[in-house]
Structure 1
Amino acid sequence: MAMQFYASPEQVQRDRSEYARKGIARGRSAVVLTYEGGILLVAENITTLRKISEIYDKIGFAAVGRYNEFENLRRAGVRMADLNGYSYDRRDVTGRGLANAYTQTLGAIFTETQKPYEVEICVAQVGASPETDELYRITYDGSVMDEPGFMAMGGQAEAISNVLRERHDTAADLPAALALAAEALGSVGGENGQTRKLDAKQLEVAVLDRRRKGRAFRRIAGAALTTLLEGGKDVPEKELGDVDAAPPNPAGDKPTVSAASEDTEDKSGEAAKAKAGDADPSEPADGVNGDGS
């Protein structure tokens, strides 16, 4: 009888952690930082797949690692936020609550399944001021950390964080914050340790704008992103991108009676009048006997 292979729980956890870290390190990085007007989310991304998305009114989501895994987490977070906002109040949906839910989910997956998720995610909630902004980093094993105004994920996150730590300023405007994020992402990954200059086609950018009421998430792409990267001033709000799934425009006044029913009623009325005109008044109506019964 063959003996079953044994590995200590500590060794199993170490193997899973190493597996997840290697998978995350193979992906491109993402940066989240606060600035004067809100929270900026920037990811190095050359595909059409989204690493940055909206979760709820004031809450954004950024992730690195395996796309199919963090996309499942994003969709689950959207459903949870919508359900809580609909059942209770929209103010009851918080970044902290979502971060706790993600922590429990990733922790259970890491300890109970054979393969851990190769993901690292950020839940960001914009507040009334930079001091009230919230950034939560959730790792593959369910650990959660409250980051102090900036964070980097994936790839060479430590080197990118060093650049952000030296120059991050909560009072900076959007162009300055975006320039810092692009420079930090480009500080790694070059040949022979050289820095890179990232252009608009290599970046996915979005903001949580604290000045907006309701849904604060806005994407920045195209000409607006190019202008900001080239050092231009803050672009007008109308030139910023919209949310991923904006509510439809309000419909015009709808008729209370359909055209089909009106045509049917008109035709029925004309037919009844024609029949009444053709009938002999001396004969009793249908269904009525001569004696009135």
Structure 2
Amino acid sequence: MQMPVNEFKKALASDTTQWGCWAGFATGYAAEIIAGTGFDWLLIDGEHAPNTVPTILAQLQAVMPYQSAPVVRCVNQDPALIKQLLDIGAQTLMVPMVESADQAAALVRATRYPPHGVRGVGGGLVRATRWDGVDDYLSKAHESLCLIVQVESPKGVESAEAIANTEGVDAVFIGPADLSVGMGHPGNPGHPEVQQAIETVIKVAKAAGKPVGILAPLEEDARRYEALGCHFIAVGIDISLLRQSAMTTVARYKKQATYNASSTY
């Protein structure tokens, strides 16, 4: 059996913007619904959604037949958790709050087998190898993996150039909400200082040859970030989409304000 192709990593090498959606319901059923709607990629959120390794596995299995490529976000930078996520078949990982090149390099090592890293060998126990069905998995695994590091703090912005130039880092993702809080402008990622920081990260990441992504539920924001050079942009959050649709529907029949999505997440 050949190594499964990482369609998301393959798409990042193209010139086409990849439009994504946050999957926060933590169930395979909901993830499969979103996967069938046409988004290029889905972020299975292990940081803020109530996910565990088994629920992430269920979502990876649910979306596998669809064109939407799954990206799994870790709750933290724990190498043991990263090992588990890779073993259940996650090929693209997004890791939050990376603030230095040293942290980025440690994450690269967590995704590599010795002598290039510290990932433990699961062999026939794990889905990633298709239970020992993938030919020469140990020597080829890194080729199909995509590591996305999140820059979402003032310290991360300061180190963005070094982070982006770290060998083994495949892409950089900007977190506007955490960045705005860290810069003293909570709930206001549109503040000029925050926007300047975002533009700085985009510029240095692109100079390093690394694709840049961002979360932007408002179309005006998404289009602006696309024009600035962001290559993969999450433009929806499944929970917000449900709430917005439900409130819009009930507002037709009751006198209440409709819900407006924001980009403060």
TM bin (shorter chain): 0.3 to 0.5
Mark the structure with the bigger radius of gyration: 1
TM-score w.r.t. length of structure 2: 0.32
Q: From the two aligned structures, give the one with the greater strand fraction.
A: 1
